[in-house]
Structure formats: structure tokens, C-alpha cells
Structure 1
């Protein structure tokens, strides 16, 4: 039987830790590309910084998921947050002393990505342990709304402003948020402990998680669809900072402000998601999301006016919250407790693995074919993805 931790005690702590870390993540998400763009104008190197943070998902996601099902998830997230905070503090020190280089940035982002493979999987598994099943959509909506407000609406312009004030400041700020989030999570009640018998091998654990996802038609379809969609999405947005400068003519602060359009749509999507899921079949919402992705890439490829780009990114933000809420709730309600970390890690491997591959390809396409090439390619590929996924999504 699943161990229950009273939600009235632990969900506010989990929520607060998420709120704090989301601000820091958003600050680094805005400042990171600016830092690399100040060190080099080569699109391949700029996209490479994104790839460095996503590469660990390709290398370690399945192993991380197996460990998440074996150990105390709360303690695991606390330790990982402390390590990530120290890594960012080291990057801030390197910037402040003038010794920062592209390899140092890549190494730091790789370490952050490695921590994500563990922390994100463990954090996703913590929520069903503190919130009853019937309350999961509302709890997910609260976390998504907090993510949208803090990570995208508040943090993006804040990150750009902090970077303009001092290039080291946003990374020092993020380091502090990781440490604060670790302190909040350390106060959670003792969460679920060891999941697997000591004699069980990691290889067998991983295979079991892969097999479970493979045999679940809806989650398998969603995972494969998002993997393919992320290849083209991240291929396009890995060079977004250069697109904003060269195509739209905005400065660093304008780039930070444009990123907040995701947040405006995301906040609306998070607020609307529970009601939409009650009134509209999931298959219709998921299919509508595929259409939104196609139109987003087409608009960005064709437009040179930032207000038009901002408008379509608002709509895209709504789509991401609705789609993400549906997928997360299905997974939390369907996957057995003892398998949750492993199944989630397979899903995230496909999700972030596609993102990593796309980030690498996006820089190459932008360098050889022009800054809008990744967006044209993304639109065409998304049409093919939508055709392939349309019928299987009926099962959702």
C-alpha cells in the first residue's frame, strides 16, 4: 500500500521549494544564453550550451530513474540541490574573476543537467506521495502556475536585468535559490524509502521500467510524440537568442521580456487546464496542441515583427501547460508507485533526449542555412509528427 504523508503538512513545503528553485532556474535560463552569446557569436557554440545541459538525459536518465526507486527521494533531491548550488557558485566566481571560458560554462551546465536527471524524476515521484489521487490535477495546476509565474514571468526579465547589472550576479542568485530549496525540502516528513530489494540489479530495474511504458499504449504514444516534437522545437529555440537579435532586432533586455510571453500563456493555461480536462476529452486537447506547435513554428519562420512573435508565443504557452498537465496526471494516476521513478525516467529520457538532439541540430542548421532555417524545418516535421500521432492519440 502506498505510504501517505499528510498533504496539509508537506505539500506547502514542496510547493515553496518548487517556487524558489523555479525563480533561480528561470534566471539562469535567461542569463545562460546571454553569457555564451557574449563569449561567442557562433550559433553552434551557442546551441552547444543548451546541448551540454540536456546531454545527461541521454546518458544517465534510465540509471537515475532506477536509483530514484531505490532510495529516499526527499534526501536525494536535497543532496542534488546542494551540489547544483555549489556548481553555480563556482561558475559565478569564474565569471567574477574573469577566467570563465566556453568549456567552463559547458561543464557547469552538464553538471546541472546531470542533477536534473535525478532531481526532476524524484520530485515528480514525491507529489503522489503527499497528494491524494483525486487532488493531483489541482496540485499539478498549482505547481505549473507557480512555475509559469516564477520561472518564466518573473525570472526571465530578472535574469536579463541581473546579467546587465553584473554578468556573475544571475548565477550567484541561482546558486542561492538551490540552497534555499534544499533547506525547505529537508523539512519534509520522511518520504518513501527504499523501493527495491537489495539483490535486484539496476539492469533489471531499468528493463522493467522500459517494458512497462512500452506496453502502455497512451503513455507510449505521448512519450514518442513529445520526443519527436522536442527534437524540432529545441532545434529552433536553441538559437532563439540569436533569432531575437538578428531577426527581430531586440537587445538583451528585449530578449528577456520576450521570453515572458511564454509565461503569460503558461499562466493562463495552468489556470484553465483543470477545467478544460473536465469538460473536453483529452484526445481533443492533445490534438489541438499539435496544431498549435505547427502554427508557432510557421509564424516564427515567416515573421520579422516582435509583437506577432510575442502573440504566438502566448498561445504556445497555453498549449504547453495544458499538454503537460494531461500527460503528468495520466502518468501519476497510472504508473505503480514502485515503478514511478523508472517509468518517468524513460519518459524524460525520450523528452529531454529529443531536446538534446534538437539543440545540436538547430545550431548546425542555423549556421549553414540561416537563422530561420530551424523554424521552417520544425514546421514541416511537426506536420509529419501530427499525422503519425493523430490516430493513436484517440486512445487518450
Structure 2
């Protein structure tokens, strides 16, 4: 578990008809949506499988964090390779790898041969595949749609992501788990296979400027450093990334141990089916937030909206700390997920408008790495707090305090420029 000038939708003429996003974007959207549905299934299945194998808060939160740790290790190299190689081919390889991996884990679970160690290994390798997929596919969007439609394209991608990852996937995963523990994993295998088929049909040939020929001779590490330098050169984007990392840290204090809190014998006492439905509340909020992020930013202003988002995410943590009433927890999850989705849409739009195509994967990977680092640290902290205090609500309370404190990040964000900047092809890194 992720703000206008530079980050909101560009001013548009109300009389201008929206340009079609095209066949190839539709195929990419379908591939991403299918992969996100698979991620939603796995998001519910892995914690439930972990709870079946162990009741240790450290081990359960560790399974949730392991995929994030994979991002920390391979995210930047994956981004550099995405700028050096064909992004479609990398994403296709990641989809095929996750297809084979999840099929194998499902079979181990069916035959009662799955161990905690194997579950950790699977979570790590899935995280590696996600790193390559999620740094390659967003960076393909500017090559498939008109630049003025980036906000709309990413809004659709993010809404589909939340629908699969946080709404349909968790609800279906919890339901399938009640019939067979391996069912969510096997269905996610089919979803990744479908994603690979759709990616195979996408026509994507990134342009390569003659001046990039010399860059191709730079070492992989050198390319990574160039991408990070470009990320931190734009102070507004860098501050938003750090703000997002703090929000992810606070959110992970809650979500990495949520299965222990919600599923019996935890305090809320849900069965696995109820857990899946409750987690689907995240998708409802995420879809709403992704769909209205641009319009809200245009009306409220970026800084006010980011500050409000932190306060709303704090409300979610407060609800979890104060009550075990399912309806209240569900409402809190909806509100928190909507606020988190606003962060995601605006950040990726700002980043892509100010980054040349030759550096998109690296800069996206650096941005994601900073945020995922916050997620990993929050998950580890949640496990330690839960193990040492014996009360998961301590972590929820700390999360609420952190969310409120993060409102002060507003003071560090520089004033927005009046223009969104020249097209990436007209800028030099």
C-alpha cells in the first residue's frame, strides 16, 4: 500500500473534444488492468496463507514487506533497463515470469508442500516482476497518447489499478479462498497470462534521439545516477516523492498487519470472505479518488488537496484504533484509499510532464523507490510494534499522528510554475 499547475490536468478548452486514446493504449490499459486484478487476488491470498502458516506478527508483516524489499533492490536497475531496452519486451517478460511463478506456488499449496520460507521467496520474486512491470508500463503511456491527454490516460490507468488491486481482486480473493486456498493464486496466474497476451499485441517503438547513442555506452549504474539526478533536480517532484514516502510509511503501519487485526482470532473476528469484502472498500475509495483527482486539484489547489489527503488518511487510522465495528472500518478504508489515490495520479502526471522519454523509466523507478522505501520501513516497524506491545492498535495510533504531522510538508513544496513545461522531446536532462 500512494499530488497544480505542474501536477493537475492542464487547462483545457471546454469546447475541445477529448482526443481518442487509441488502440495501443487500450491494449496497454487492458494488460495493466489484468495484472492489477492478479495483484489484488495475491494481495489478499498471501497474508491469508501466511496467517494459516504462522501467527507471528513479524512473519506475517514480513510477507507483506518482502515484495517491497524486492523493489528496493531491483527497482532502480529495472528503471535503467527500461530506458536502455524496449519497455514492452521487459513488461512482457515480467508478465510471463509472474505467470509461471504463481502457477508453481498454487500447485505447492494444493499439494500441501508450501512452507513459510517458500512463501517469502515467492513474495520476493513477485516483487521483482512487479518492479519491471510497473517501471515499464507507465513509461510507455507518453509514447501512445497525445501529451495533453496524459492526465486522462493516467486517471484511467489508476482507476483500473484500484478497481483490480483494491476492489474486485480482494473481494474475489477472499471469496475464492473460502473454497480453496490455492484458487486465488491460480486465477491470478491466468490474469498474468492474459496480460502477457495483450502486451504482445501492443505496437510500441520508443523513439531514440541520435544524441542518446553516447549514453548507451554509459554503465548501467551511471544511467541510474543520471535518472536520480534528474528526479531531484525538480524540487517540486522530489518533495512530493518524500511526502509520499512519509505517507506510505504511516499507511504501512496499518496495512501490513491488517489481516491479523481483522481476521479471527483477531479483534474484529472476520472470516476470510469478510476480510476480502472489507478490503474491497479500498478499491471503492481508490476509484473515486483517481477519477476526481485532477478536477479536485484544479478547484482546491495542489497543496490544500495534499494536506486534506493526509488528514483523511489519519481519520482512517483513528477509526481502526478506536473501534472494531465493521461498517466504521469500511468507511474509513474508503476515505483513506480515496485520499491515497489522489497522491498517485498527480505525482505520476507531474513526473512525466517534466521528464524526457529517454529517462522516464529511471525517474519513475527512483520516485517509486522512495515511496516503496517508506512502505518497507513502515511494515517492519508495524511488526516490531505488534510483537513488542501485543496490541496492533499502537501502530494504528502512531500512523494517525504521523499523517497529521505530514501536513507540515506543505511548507517545503515550492510554488508551482505557471506552465507545465515544454514537451519532453524539447528538454535535455
TM range (shorter): over 0.9
Residue 238 of structure 2 is aligned to residue 217 of structure 1 = no
CA distance in 2, matches of 1:193, 1:136: 18
Q: How does 1:203-214 map to 2 (within 5 A)?
A: 203-214=221-232
**Could you say which residue in structure 1 is the equivalent of 2:110?**
96
Q: How does 1:163-182 map to 2 (within 5 A)?
A: 163-182=177-196
Equivalent pairs, count: 390
Q: After alignment, is 275-284 or 346-355 more displaced?
A: 275-284
CA distance in 2, matches of 1:179, 1:395: 45
Instruction: Provide, for residues 271-293 of structure 1, a one-character-per-residue CA deviation record: whole Å limited to 9, x for no partner.
Output: 32232233331222111111112
Alpha-carbon shift at residue 193 of structure 1 (Å): 6.5
**Could you say which residue in structure 2 is the equivalent of 1:247?**
267
**Could you say which residue in structure 2 is the equivalent of 1:274?**
294
- After superposition, the Cα gap between the structure-2 partners of 1:60 and 1:150, relative to the gap in structure 1 and judged at 3 Å, is closer
**Could you say which residue in structure 2 is the equivalent of 1:287?**
307
Instruction: Provide, for residues 312-368 of structure 1, a one-character-per-residue CA deviation record: whole Å limited to 9, x for no partner.
Output: 111112212222111111111111111111111111111112111211121111111
**Could you say which residue in structure 1 is the equivalent of 2:387?**
367
Q: TM-score, normalised by structure 1?
A: 0.95
- After superposition, the Cα gap between the structure-2 partners of 1:120 and 1:45, relative to the gap in structure 1 and judged at 3 Å, is same
CA distance in 1, matches of 2:392, 2:173: 24
Contact 1:70–1:193 (CA under 8 A) maintained in structure 2:
no
Alpha-carbon shift at residue 168 of structure 1 (Å): 1.1
Alpha-carbon shift at residue 270 of structure 1 (Å): 2.4
Contact 1:283–1:394 (CA under 8 A) maintained in structure 2:
no
Residue 232 of structure 2 is aligned to residue 232 of structure 1 = no
**Could you say which residue in structure 2 is the equivalent of 1:3?**
none
Contact 2:32–2:137 (CA under 8 A) maintained in structure 1:
no
Unaligned runs of 5+ in 1: 1-5
**Could you say which residue in structure 2 is the equivalent of 1:334?**
354
Match of 1:248, SS state, is coil
CA distance in 1, matches of 2:342, 2:176: 31
**Could you say which residue in structure 2 is the equivalent of 1:19?**
33
Is the helix fraction higher in 1 or 2? 1
Alpha-carbon shift at residue 192 of structure 1 (Å): 1.3
Q: TM-score, normalised by structure 2?
A: 0.87
Q: How does 1:280-359 map to 2 (within 5 A)?
A: 280-359=300-379
* RMSD between superposed Cα atoms in Å: 1.6
**Could you say which residue in structure 2 is the equivalent of 1:38?**
52
**Could you say which residue in structure 1 is the equivalent of 2:403?**
382
CA distance in 1, matches of 2:207, 2:128: 22
CA distance in 1, matches of 2:287, 2:229: 35
Contact 2:242–2:370 (CA under 8 A) maintained in structure 1:
yes
Match of 1:189, SS state, is coil
Match of 1:344, SS state, is helix
Alpha-carbon shift at residue 7 of structure 1 (Å): 4.2
**Could you say which residue in structure 2 is the equivalent of 1:392?**
412
Match of 2:99, SS state, is helix
